[in-house]
Amino acid sequence: MRSYETGSGPVDSDIGKGWEVARPLGGTSVDGVRMAGFRDRSAAGLDMRVLPQPVVVVVLALGDEPVTVEGADGPRPMRSLVAALSPGPVRIRGARVECLEARLSPRAAYALLGTSPRELDGTVTGLDDLWGRPARTLRERLTDAPTWQERLTLMDGFLAGRAARAPVMAPEVAAAWDTIVARRGRVRVTDLAASCGWSRKRLWSRFSAQIGLTPKRAAMTVRFDRAVRALHAGHNPAEVALACGYADQPHLHRDVLALAGCTPGALTGGDTSAG
């Protein structure tokens, strides 16, 4: 829930127009995992876009009220969900939302989700579909826990248990992803393949299976994420396009339209005619 992930303390009240945000006091025990709890204290409701970003997002709604996921297949009520790195134009809406969110790096997602990330590409999936009964039991325990810190500790322990028996990402794939992030998406697939000693075809296949995107799409997602952050910070779209490696402003416009389902103006609230 990028829109509300602000503040620095373990519990931040009245952030983002009435949202309470809680974070684990001691961090998390699994590398590549960040967690936070969210509660809509003012009953303002949730209405946000799910955007491509370089993390897989897991959300467990607490209590009896599901959130509604609106995508290409129409609205779907969900009490727990997983948003892929590039989920397609999707909105999440809800009233009196209270939830726990875990943001997983691609390494952590590969280890913890229990399925090939490639199966999640372009989707927001129900967590019950991936984890079955353990997901439902976890959500019930989180709902019953009386404090945010107890909830965050429960979630951390659950993920640590899965990590103890998890597969390990190929070091060549991990290195290729790290290079894409370090270069902010401005890298050629041929150079990535050469750096790890693989053919372009082998890198494409292994990377797609373990990250969930092709190397080219991953670079596009990292570049898009940086551009969105700059746009939300109020920077001029033409300057953002140049700084983030787009050919020109129309190129940025096309990517935002394709990945977010709206114009850059609508994405940042400056244009209500689209999206």
Per DSSP, the residues of 116-152 read -GGGGTT-EEEHHHHH-HHHHHHHHHHHH-SSHHHHH
3-state secondary structure of 113: coil
Strand partners, 94: 46
Q: How far apart are CA 233 and CA 268, in angstroms?
A: 9
Under a CB-based contact definition with an 8 Å cutoff, are residues 38 and 149 in contact? no
Q: What is the pLDDT of residues 209-248, one digit of tens each?
A: 999 999 999 999 999 999 999 998 999 999 999 999 999 9
**pLDDT classification of 9: cutoffs 50, 70, 90:** very low
What are the extents of the domains in the chain?
2-163, 171-267
**pLDDT classification of 16: cutoffs 50, 70, 90:** low
pLDDT at 194: 94
> What's the predicted TM-score (pTM) here?
0.88
pLDDT at 58: 95
The answer, yes or no, to whether residue 68 has pLDDT greater than 50, is yes
Residue 83: closest CA among 107, 59, 112: 59
Strands (E), the chain: 11-15, 19-22, 33-40, 46-50, 56-61, 67-71, 74-78, 80-83, 90-94, 98-104, 124-126
Go through 31-44 and write b for each residue having 16 or more CB atoms within 10 A of its CB, e for each that does not: ebbbbbbbbbeeee
CATH class, domain 171-267, is mainly alpha
**Is 2-163 in CATH node 3.10.150.10?**
no
Judge whether 2-163 and 171-267 match in fold: no
Q: How far apart are CA 263 and CA 275, in angstroms?
A: 7
Query: Tokens in use for 81?
Result: 């969900």
How buried is 235 (Cβ within 10 angstroms: 0-12 exposed, 13-18 middle, 19+ buried)?
A: middle
Weakest mean pLDDT among 58-62, 189-193, 233-237, 261-265:
261-265
Query: Tokens in use for 78?
Result: 């969900």
Q: How far apart are CA 101 and CA 104, in angstroms?
A: 10
The answer, yes or no, to whether residue 15 has pLDDT greater than 90, is no
Share of the chain above pLDDT 70, in %: 91
pLDDT at 121: 66
**pLDDT classification of 116: cutoffs 50, 70, 90:** confident
Q: What is the mean pLDDT of the chain?
A: 88
